[in-house]
Each structure stands twice: as structure tokens, then as C-alpha cells.
Chain A
Amino acid sequence: MREFTHMQAYTVKEASQNAARGGMVIAGGTDLLGTLKDEILPVYPSLIIDLKTIDGLDKIEEEGDSLLIGSMAKLADVAADDKVKKHCQALSEACNRVASPTIRNMATLGGNICQMHRCWYFRTPDDRFHCSRKGGSTCPAYMGDNRYHSIFGVQNGCIAASSHDTAPALIALGATIITSNREVLAEGFFAANGYRSCILEDGEIVTHVRVPKCKKSVFEKFALRRSIDFPIVNCAAALGSGGTIQVVMGGVFPAPLRLTAAEKAVEKGITEASAAKAGDDAMADASALSGNGYKIEIARAMVKRTLLRLEGQKA
């Protein structure tokens, strides 16, 4: 790893100002440090701003009909928190499926939603692939090995698959991402955006996530390894007010996808048949690349299973 200056920020404003000047923020560091070590980014930052020294960003609190979770709350803590388990079960389950126990003890909720994509072309060190996310003109995964990539096409020239486990849960639950500048619905927060996987601008820092309480919500993940892998496909479903059901899938597009066709299929209730139809309908517009047709089948099954599990969950 190359040398950099490490500063401890004590306020969000201080962190934000320094980040705007080219510094990178570090939360748990489980993504950033590996990224720096492998020299994945086109420009190596000279300043790393530690957010762990900012008071209060790791709290998990009830706020009326919502939970307010600090971006620095560790994934293991979010997963184990009784309030989260009771009111936002999908988020608890998602946090509990991120990476490995040791990583969950370091990594934060804010870090997970801001982590960069795991596309192996993007992540190959030394700029071996100068892809569109790094200022290049092409996406090498199109013609290359795309077994883990998008099955719903391109976003901003990129076909990497979203790899956040918490994102589908947050979107399904109708969460709001609170940054140093604004509040954004989680559904609009994620996108292939330069090297970022979200719409954050330079100097903008996620401070909290507000998650509405929900009576029923579940999260499912499919990965090759049970222990540590990023998702091939993940899926969250939540029962909204008025009995509507939100279904969100990750790993199938550069951003998590709201599966409205699946939601429509279970409007009148979740049964074996409607859940299967939801899976089929959700995949109707999927389009496999050269090496990832199998993901459509997995995604189809995951939609069905997630909905059936939601139906079986106690309200």
C-alpha cells in the first residue's frame, strides 16, 4: 500500500470539507483498504479521512415510526440489534449475510451501501482494464467473462452487478439515505457513477439511514460460498402500508432493482402459484450476456422463495 496522510475527523463538516478537496473517507475500511492495496482506482488518494472519530454516527435509535441508524454502525451491531430485528427484519438478515463474521465486526452500514462494485474487470489492479467506470470508453465485461454481471442490461456504460447486501433490504423497506447535503430515498441512491456505486458527489458523506418500521420483511441471498461471498443474487421483500409488497433484487443490474412486475403478481396475495409467477414475471425482461444465463434461473427462484418466506413470516 502506498503512503497517504490519515486524518481523524471530529465533525461531519470537517470530513466533508476535506473529502471535497480530494480526500477519501474511511469507515470500517474493509472495502477501501483492499482497494488501495490493490491500486484499483485510477488516482491514489493522498488523504484518508477517518469517520470513526465523529461522535454519534454509530447509534441505532427509534425515531417515531422509523429507526435512525448511524452510517458508522457496524454491520454486526445492526444485525444483532433488537429494534432492527423487530421492525426491520430484512435489514437485520441482510447485515448478517454480508461477508464474514470478522468483516461484519469491522464493516459499517454506510460503508456497505457506498462500497464500490465487485466487477473483476473494474477491480483488476494497475488499471489493466481501463473500463468505462475509470474513464475508458468500453466495458471489457461485455465481450469478456461476465458470469457474475448484469442480466438487466447497462447503466451508464457499465454492466457490473450491484454487490451491496443491505441495499435491497433498505429499498424494500422504503429507507431514506441521509447525507451531509441531502436526504435521498434509497431507491434513487444507487447507481454506477464513476468509480462510485451510488449518487454521492465529491465531499458528500452518508451520515444516517432512516428506515421505516415494517411488520414483515425478509432477505434472501444466493452466493457460491455460504461464508464470505458477495451475492450472485440477493432479494428483499417487505410488506408496505396498505398491504402492498415491495420486492427488490440485487446482483442483477448495476443498481438494485425494484421488481414491480413481481410486486404486481402478488398483489392479491402470496401463494405458491403467485410467487412462482412473480419470479417469472420479474425475469421476463431479463437478458443474459454470454456467460450469465444461469443467473436468470437463480433470480427467478430467489424471487419466489423470498416471497414465500415473507408469506410464512409472522406479522
Chain B
Amino acid sequence: MGETSKWVLEGTNDDRQDFKVVGTWNHPGRQSWDMVSGAAKYPTDLYREGTLTAMALRCPYGHAKIKSLDISEAEKLPGVTLILTYEDEELASMPVNVPSYYELGRSPLLGDEAEFEGDECGAVVVAQSEEICRKALDLIKVTWEVLPFVLDCREAGKPGAPILRPEMNPDSNMTGNTFGAPIKWEIGNVEKGFKEADHIEVIEYGRPMWNQFRPMPPAYFSYWDNDPWGNPDGEKMCYVTNHAHFPANGPVISAFMGMGVHEDKVRALSPYMAARYCDFVEKRGALLAPVLSRRLGGVPVRCVSTRRQSFDANVPQSFFTVRIGFKNDGTLVAVQLKNVHQTGARGGYGDKTHGHLVLPANAQGFKSTSCPNIYSEMEYYVTNGACTTADPGKDTWEPVNLAFAKIADTLNMDISQVIMKNVKVTKPSLETCMETGKKAFKWEEKWHLPGKKKLADGRFHGIACRSCWSMTWGMISYNINLRMNTDGKIYMPYSEALIGTYWPDAVQLVIAEEMGMKPEDVIVYYAANYPNWQKGDAADRGATCTWAAKEAAIQLKKQILETGASLFGVTEDEVDLVDSMITLKSDPAKQMSLVGIGQLAVGYCGKPKVPFQNDVIRTMNVDFCEVAVDPETGLVEILDYCAAHDFGKLIRPSSGLGQLEMALTMASGRALREEIIWDKNTGVLLNGNMYDYKVPTSLDQPVIDTIPVETRCGGGAYGSTGVAHAHCDAGLVGLAVQNAIGKFIPMAPYTPDKILAALGRI
């Protein structure tokens, strides 16, 4: 409470004021142009002459094992090129290694056991067309042994539940961490804390499995070919589309690890990717495509799936029980949190077992409060409910804000005051966000005690706010290569697939700013042959990778000025770069173009000098939500949605504010409608389409106010920091509903059935 951020971040240039380019509007975005004009090529768009299509057999049951498989009729079908089954030695042994962040976990690339309905299992067909693939798959005779399935991680944890992955844990369904046991930690003495508390309350909260945003079903495209310069040993190079961006290119890293091919033999093909929001999951097609292509001598192979099949990787279920103890003045003194978390059908995010310690919604967020006594217990259970991905939302803060709301509700306090009272570091970021956000949202005019206000049309009125950190990543080094070409322009290649966070456009502005170039003379471009290293296309890494861009720009500018000085016959200190021209400081009219002065290049690999993310709360954000709840139908309408976000420094406003709008739209969908639904009797997915899985369309987007805050406290260039991760959770709308109807609803999404039940109407 009231502490000031103490981090001193080296080299962020967080005191620079003289910006010409950074923070300004109306820069044509290369990515946005590509996307809206249709020029952007996604993996589904890629095709080369002779391309074959691959499709895998999919399991029709919630959990099943293949007893027998007969592909003889399918093989006879004209147009079928290759059918591989789980008995294929190479497929059965893959992945050779288990790459980090890879969804396969310990499952083989193509096994005989399907862990969920729609799982790729048993056979993969390569044929001349998708039509022939489908016919061939229909001709494969399969006898399935249907196995017990569990869809809810709480059920999976109960004694007597069927053991789903005995090879991972023969005793229970607890998987996904190294120890096969609950993870527990304690700070202070929780029981002592509860004894000191004036009030003790228990809150239950859960969220279903959520799908990621899916603009299109994924496809993977791969071929092996001679490379004019990259394979002096004569081996072919593997080209593969890219559906991930972290830690390098998912399919690429998977391909070389799985196939025993070194990374320098793999090239990423596509600059744009769709069908996903964040990271941590890659699908089997990503590896099947290069494997099948190699088996066929390098012929291009396109591994496709349908829209419905693309619902096979989702954000996991999570359920909390939070016991809180607090004083009469609202001070939190004890937290005891139990989180039951779903690890998905593969038993975790590959071998990223330790990731569970920091990523899922345990009590980590409470470490950012002043509460001295915290006990956290997590259990992870495998289910048959699809693979799991990381949660784009900052779910560690959901229970924190829920606790604040409960304190406010119990003590008839304003939740914004409870937040400010209990978050440990409030200055300058949280305080600024709270003040500016409350003003923009008109909080003081709107706030009321829970259940105490109705609108003229009879609907309940509710508001809430919640706080969260704005992540600033310090764990990844960013690799930037910059060169000045003979045309006098600055080029920066990248090879990561883009998910719509526009980081190259932001980096372009930082480079221009730092070097004194016109933005149009800085060209950040996709280059498949560029070494596959992290650049930062995640919702919040985009800002921090500007750090490395800035450092590289400083170095290249120095080289250019050295050259320019010698051409002018002066010292380096006497020249500068102004609007892409070498300019004599003493006589700015004397300028020299960069065109033709030569080629210069630098490389820089580094990262912002910040500690690991969990320990950094320099930059914060506060979101506000106003809802109307129809007491007769249970429909929740978001009337106003406002995000006061500390960008540190807003580098490219159109991108940054757009990220906020995107994140809040995503949060609104999760809060009000989205959930993965299976048939409980068969384990079959029911809503694997864009009608029944209800993502918001542009017409459903609530009114969103984006309030940029700039404290310069982030770890990226000029003190910038990340954006969207911090806003994608659903909890805020639930808190506003609670303020409206006076009752907490323990499970998202906040659909009419739950609202009407809470109101006692059903």
C-alpha cells in the first residue's frame, strides 16, 4: 500500500522527452495494410505446384484406443499418395525430444490412443486433394475401444475417477507438474493471519475452457528443397509455415527437434498467422507436414483441418476457492487459495511443467499486495477436454480482484479504495491509472453499493473496477539485425509469425526515432531465411523488444555518423542524422543523403534490464466496467468499458490503443458468452463452430474508452511496456454484475441462466 516503485531500469532512456516520431499518429502500418487489403498471406493461403493435402483420422469418441485399423481400401483410392499409421516407426517415436511449449507432451506424434473427441489418431492420409483425403479417411476401417472420459478437472481429481494417463501418473490424474503432487507454498503464517482478521470470507470462482480467437482454421504447409546458399552440404532445406512465435518458431523448433534436423535446416514460411491468440501450443499438423513432405522427397504438403477440428486447443478450466481474512478498514491480512486447474488432454503444456508455477491462476497475484500471509495450493488434472494453451488473460490477478470485491462488499466500501489500500506498489503507475481512469469513467458519479441502483428501464445498474499489472518482459533476449543499404534506407528482417500485435510497426518508429530517420526510410520486413530468434510478437513482448531495436539503432547510427563525418571532413560530434540526412550541426542546411554512401550493418541481442515478470509491478492498469442487468431475462449489457493502461511510453498509439480495444473485446466475450461445451454423455464437442461458440463480432463490441497513461516506468525503450495480456480476463464484468445484483456468480460466463438463478427466478 502506497509504496513507490524502486526499480531503476538501466538504459531505457525513460527520461527522453524530444520525440519526433514515437507517440505520433498517422503512420501507415505495413501489417495493417496487409491485413485489411488481403495482401497478408496466412498458412492457409500458401500453395506451390504439386502440393498434396494431408488430413489425419480423428477420433469420434471422448476417449478411445484403436483396436484395429485397416487402410487397405483407402490405399486403393485413386489420388491417395501415402497413408501412414501409428505403426510407422518414425511417427511412433516422435517427438524425439519434447520441446518446450509444445502441446504434444509425452504423447507420440501419431499414436493409437485418442485423448479427446476430434484428436488426431491412428492414421494420416496424403492425397491429391482434400476431397480425396476425406474419402480415404472414410474408407479406413477402425475398431475403437471406447475408454472412460472426464471433462471437468474437478471430477478428474476425485477419488475413483478413471485414470486417464497412467503412463504419466499411475495413481491419479494429477499431471502437468514435475512432482505429480499439489504445489504448495506459504508466505508468512496464514493461520496466524486469520486469527488477526476481523472478517473471514470464502469466495468460489471458476471459469470454463475457452477457445482462442479463431479467424480461420489452421493449416500447415511444408516442403523440402535445395537452398541456393543455405545447404552447402547438399541436404535439402525444410520450409514450414509458422503458427507460433514463442520461444522461437513453434513448428520450426518442433520440426528440427522432432526430426533430428538442425535448426539451420529449417526456414519459416509465413509472416502472418491466425487461429490463435498467444503461445504455448502447437498442433500436430505443424510437425506432420514437414515429416510427410520429407517422406515424399520434399513434395509440398499441406496439412489441413476443419473449423471444428481447430477447436482442439483451448485455454484451460480453472477453479478457485479463496479464503480471505481482513480488517475492519479493508486491509487484507490472510489469503488461503486453492486452485484446481486443467492441464488438458496431453497432461500439460508439453514439458513446460514449471511454467505452471508462474502462469496459472494460483495465489501469485497476492504477492503484489501488502498481505503478509499467503498460502497457495494448486492441483493440476488431466482431462479429455482438448489440449490446453496459455491463458491470454492475467489470471493470477483474477482472485486478487475478486478478494478486493468481497472486502468491498462486506464492508460497504468502494472497491477502488480497497485496491489502493491493498496493492503494495501504487506509485506512480497504479495511482495514475486509477485517478485518470476514474475521472474518464466518471466513477464517483456512478459508484453505489451493490444492488442499490436501477436504471429507468428497470434494469439493475452495476459498476466495478479492477487492477492488474502491465507486463514488462525481462526474460527473453531479442535479436535485432539492422543494416543500411546503398539506397540509404534502414532494413530490419524478422521471421516470426505475426498475430496482430503490430510490433514491427512499433519497432520501425523506435528505430526511426533513435536514428533520426524518416519512418518511411526504415523498413521492417519479413525474411524467411533470417535466423529464427525471438523478436517479440506477443501481446506484451512487442513493446519490450523495442529495447533491442533501440540499442541496435544507436550502434548503426554511430557507424553512419562516423562515415558521414569523414565525408564532411569533420568529427562525429559535429554531425547528426536529421530526417534521414546526415546534417552538419553548425549549419543544418548542409545535408548529405545516405544514398550511395555504402552499406553498414549491426547486430544486437539483448533484453530489457528488468527482473523476471512476476517480480515486476512497475507498470499497472485499471479497467472499469459499467453494466445493465435485465432482471426478467438475465441479459447483461456492457454500457461502458474503460481501460486506463500504463504504457510506460506509448510508442505507436494506433497499435497500442487498438490492442486495448481488442483485449477488452476478448474479455467481454469470455465474460458474457464464451465457453467450450461438450456433450457430457459422450465427450463430443458441441459448439465447435462460430455460431455456437460465441465470440464477439464487431457489432457486439462494447463501447470502449482507452485511456493511455505514460509513467515511463516500463522496461522497454523509453520506459514502454506491454499491453493486451493484462486485460483479457473475464472477472471484471462479473464484479460489475455483482455490484448490479448484489450477488457473486461463481462461474463465468455470466449468461442469462446464471443471472436468473442468482436472482432466484429459476
Query: Which residues does A use to contact B, with CB under 8 Å?
Result: 1-3, 37-38, 100, 118, 120-121, 123-126, 128-129, 140, 143-145, 147, 222, 224-230, 232, 291-294, 296-298, 300-302
Contact size range, B = 35 or more
User: Which listed residue, B673, B681, B685, touches A225 by the CB 8 Å rule?
Assistant: B673
Contacting A3 at CB < 8 Å: which of B131, B635, B679, B697? B131
15 A-B residue contacts at CB 8 Å? Answer: A124-B686, A128-B117, A140-B679, A143-B681, A144-B681, A144-B686, A224-B694, A225-B699, A226-B700, A227-B696, A227-B698, A291-B753, A297-B756, A297-B762, A301-B633
Q: Which residue of B lies closest to A279 (CB)?
A: B632
- Do residues B681 and A298 form an inter-chain contact, with CB atoms below 8 A? no
The reply to whether B691 and A230 form a contact with Cβ atoms under 8 Å apart is yes
Are A224 and B686 CB-contacts (below 8 A) given A144-B680, A145-B677, A297-B756? Answer: no
In the assembled complex, the CB of A126 is this many whole angstroms from the nearest CB of chain B, namely: 7
The listed residue with most A CB atoms (<10 A of its CB), out of B630, B633, B687, B761, is B633
- The yes or no answer to B672 lying at the interface (CB within 8 A) is yes
Among residues of B, the one whose C-beta sits closest to the C-beta of A230 is B691
Inter-chain CA distance A150–B682, complex, in Å, is: 21
Which applies to chain B's interface (DSSP): helix, strand, loop or mixed? loop
Q: Is the CB of A147 within 8 A of B681?
A: no
Q: Which residues of B contact A129 (CB under 8 A)?
A: 679, 682, 684
Whole-angstrom distance between the Cβ of B428 and the nearest chain A Cβ: 39
Q: Give the chain B neighbours of A230 by CB distance below 8 A.
A: 691
Known contacts A38-B308, A144-B679; can you find 5 more A-B pairs with CB under 8 A? A120-B686, A224-B694, A225-B694, A227-B700, A298-B634
B8 at the A interface (CB under 8 A): no
* Of B632, B679, B691, B700, the contact of A145 (CB 8 Å cutoff): B679
- Taking a contact as CB atoms closer than 8 A, the residue among B134, B672, B673, B761 that contacts A297 in the complex is B761
Chain B, 616-665, CB within 8 A of any chain A CB: 630, 632-635
Known pairs A124-B684, A294-B753; A100 contacts B697 (CB<8 A): yes
Residue contact B692 to A294, C-beta cutoff 8 Å:
no
**Is B757 part of the contact surface with A, judged by Cβ < 8 Å?**
yes
How many A-B residue contacts, CB cutoff 8 Å?
Answer: 102
Given contacts A38-B306, A120-B686, are A126 and B753 in contact (CB under 8 A)? no
Cα A118 to Cα B681 in complex, Å, equals 20
Within 8 Å of chain A (Cβ to Cβ): is B752? yes
- B193 to chain A minimum Cβ distance, whole angstroms, is 40
Give chain B residues whose Cβ lies under 8 Å from the Cβ of A294: 634, 752-753, 756-757, 762
Are B699 and A226 in contact, CB atoms less than 8 angstroms apart? Answer: yes
Q: Which B residues lie within 8 Å of A226 (CB)?
A: 699-700
Q: Is the CB of A301 within 8 A of B687?
A: no
B436: Cβ under 8 A from any A Cβ = no
Indicate if the CB atoms of A224 and B633 lie closer than 8 Å: no
Q: Determine the chain A residues whose CB is within 8 A of the CB of B692 once the complex forms.
A: 118, 120
* CB <8 Å contact, B697 and A225: yes
Closest to B633 in A: A298
Residues on A with C-beta less than 8 A from B691 are 118, 228-230
Complex Cα gap A123–B693 (Å): 13
Residue B689 at the chain A interface, CB threshold 8 Å: yes
A297 to B686, CA, bound (A): 24
Q: How far is the CA of A296 from the CA of B752 in the complex (A)?
A: 11
Q: Provide the bound-state CA to CA distance between A126 and B685, in Å.
A: 12
A301-B457 Cα distance, complex, nearest whole Å: 14
Once the chains are docked, how many angstroms separate the CA of A302 from the CA of B634? 12
A230 to B164: give the CA distance in the assembly, Å: 37
Residue B60 lies at the interface, judged by CB distance under 8 Å to chain A: yes
Instruction: For residue B441, give the distance in angstroms from its CB to the closest CB of chain A.
Output: 23
Chain B nearest Cβ from A223, distance in angstroms: 9
Is B321 positioned at the interface, with any CB of A under 8 Å from its CB? no
- Tell me the complex Cα distance, A302–B630, Å: 12
Question: Judging by beta carbons under 8 Å apart, are A222 and B635 in contact?
Answer: yes
Closest residue of chain B to A125, judged by CB?
B308
Please report the C-alpha to C-alpha distance between residue A228 and residue B700 in the assembled complex, in whole angstroms: 9
Interface mask (B78-100 → A, CB under 8 Å = 1, otherwise 0): 00000000000000000000000
Give the CA-CA distance A145 to B761 in the complex, in Å: 21
- Evaluate contact between B633 and A227: CB separation under 8 angstroms: no
Task: Indicate if the CB atoms of A225 and B762 lie closer than 8 Å.
Answer: no
